[in-house]
Amino acid sequence: MNADREFTKLWNHATVDPQNLIIEVGRISQMDRVQRAKMYELFNRVGVVIMQHAPVSEDDPVEELIDLGKMYGKSVAHDRADARGLVVVAEIPGKGASIAPTLMHTAGTFTPWKDVPKTVLLQCVKQSPVGGQSMIASGALAYQYLREKEPEALKLLSNPEVFSLKRADPGKGQPGNTGAVRKAVFDHDQLGDGRIWLSFRFDGEVKLDLFPDEAHEAYDKLFCFMNRSENQIDFKLQPNQIMICDNTAVGHARTAYQVGSGRKLNRLQLHGGIGDCIFGFPVPEAFSKLRAA
């Protein structure tokens, strides 16, 4: 099998039905070989999987998440994480900003390559009745769009020094000992095998530095493309579901949610150094068709 042709992660909302990304299992620790193979196949072909595990105690479904994390490598350091790498994502009382919408981005854009999580797991404990919808967008789709419509922008965004980010509010969720690191939005060097690694973020919390000046327009084009609903799939994670995201190939975002809803999720960010995963995406061939899932 030619991995490059098979695992393009090239899709949009018309070709991917989120229902087809759900894999129903019992306990995560008791997944069989077929379920594991299906999980890695979806991860490598689409870059997003939703694991639906058997209902477990509402107080502590985290064991399922920890067990799933073991299949995606060691956890990445994070100052809000506990010893297992777990971060609780919930409304912070008095901090209205925590419920504002999150724009499309990849995780770990601030950090050196070796500390960027390749896989992000998000487990729903309690959902907000209104809002809290997840959106996912394909980096390969954005790459193909730019190559066809905005080749100069793509060239600028592939420059290994095109951007760096700093937190506007230092210390909040920032891993220690990291400064602003210059990166390409579409990196061609880190993964090898010609596969591309997507990194980008822009919102009110970051200080974005772009080089050269023309890259501002290019970054804006990518950002608008990724944030357009027709280029995303969306779904609302439910209790007993864990979303698996290939953070090297897809961006994620969410809608606003209700104040006082008690929405709670658990997150694990992992190095992803396990053999069955194929990260990033290949340069889409000119005739590449969108894949169905």
Cβ at position 251, least distance to Fe ion in Å: 9
Cβ at position 252, least distance to Fe ion in Å: 6
Nearest to 270 by CA among 123, 104, 110, 71: 71
Retrieve residue 112's tokens. Answer: 């050196």
Residues in contact with Fe ion by CB under 5 A are 107
* Rounded Cα gap, residues 41 and 104, in angstroms: 24
CA 78 to chain CA centroid, nearest Å: 16
- By CB atoms closer than 10 A (0-12, 13-18, 19+), residue 176 is exposed
Question: Measured from the CB atom, is 107 or 162 closer to Fe ion?
Answer: 107
Cβ at position 26, least distance to Fe ion in Å: 29
Residues 6+ apart with CB under 8 A from 175: 76, 77, 78, 79, 110, 111, 115
Question: Measured from the CB atom, is 44 or 134 closer to Fe ion?
Answer: 134
Cβ at position 73, least distance to Fe ion in Å: 18
For 52-90, the three-class secondary structure string (H helix, E strand, C coil) is ECCCCCCCCCHHHHHHHHHHHCCECCCCCCCCCCEEEEE
DSSP 8: -
Cβ at position 200, least distance to Fe ion in Å: 12
Question: Measured from the CB atom, is 107 or 222 closer to Fe ion?
Answer: 107
Retrieve residue 193's tokens. Answer: 């095998």
Cβ at position 202, least distance to Fe ion in Å: 13
Question: Measured from the CB atom, is 53 or 267 closer to Fe ion?
Answer: 267
Nearest to 71 by CA among 240, 273, 224, 209: 273
Q: Tell me the one-letter amino acid at 96.
A: G
Question: Measured from the CB atom, is 23 or 136 closer to Fe ion?
Answer: 136
Residue nearest to Fe ion (CB): 107
Question: Measured from the CB atom, is 107 or 153 closer to Fe ion?
Answer: 107
Cβ at position 84, least distance to Fe ion in Å: 19
Question: Measured from the CB atom, is 35 or 102 closer to Fe ion?
Answer: 102
Burial 197-230 (b: 16+ CB within 10 A, else e): bbbbbbeeebebebeeeebeebbebbbebbbeee
